[in-house]
């Protein structure tokens, strides 16, 4: 029985499908590239041909990268830089969430027990330096 994949395509979508060539359950390095679209799209004829041309240009980049290592490296660098940017933004959001949590926890602890509430001394990236107001001030 063939397994189906759920799709969420709209009539105006163009889908570029990459299908690896397999030999003995392993990819042999070749790939089939297909452009798929719904024949009931709502694009004008001119827009359809422009969009199809864009899809063909994207598909043509694969054999061009194979023949042109400079182009391949430029595209690879661009992709890595894009992902690094996304990952850095995600890390910053995580740090902001942590800072918000620590601030809220510190305020709540100060309300419940002012003598034990930690004091935020410094923040450097994802590192927060705290001082806990202990009775012995660290000299026990």
Between 101 and 16, residue with greater pLDDT: 16
Residue at 90 is within a domain? yes
- The answer to whether residues 62 and 90 belong to one domain is no
Average pLDDT over residues 112-132: 69
Residue at 114 is within a domain? yes
Total tally of structural domains belonging to the chain: 2
The Cα 47–Cα 103 span in angstroms is: 52
- The answer to whether residues 37 and 85 belong to one domain is no
Residue 128 clears pLDDT 60, i.e. is over it? yes
Between 125 and 16, residue with greater pLDDT: 16
Residue at 5 is within a domain? no
Residue 133 clears pLDDT 70, i.e. is over it? no
């Amino acid at each position: 029985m063939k397994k189906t994949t759920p799709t969420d395509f709209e009539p105006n979508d163009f889908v570029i499908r990459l299908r690896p060539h397999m030999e003995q359950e392993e990819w042999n390095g070749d790939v089939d590239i297909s452009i798929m679209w719904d024949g009931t799209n709502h694009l004008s004829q001119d827009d359809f041909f422009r969009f199809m041309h864009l899809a063909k240009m994207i598909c043509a980049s694969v054999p061009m990268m194979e023949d042109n290592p400079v182009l391949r490296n430029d595209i690879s660098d661009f992709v890595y830089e894009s992902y690094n940017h996304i990952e850095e933004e995600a890390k910053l959001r995580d740090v902001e969430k942590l800072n918000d949590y620590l601030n809220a926890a510190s305020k709540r602890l100060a309300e419940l027990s002012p003598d034990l509430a930690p004091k935020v001394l410094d923040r450097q990236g994802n590192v927060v330096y705290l001082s806990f107001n202990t009775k012995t001030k660290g000299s026990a």
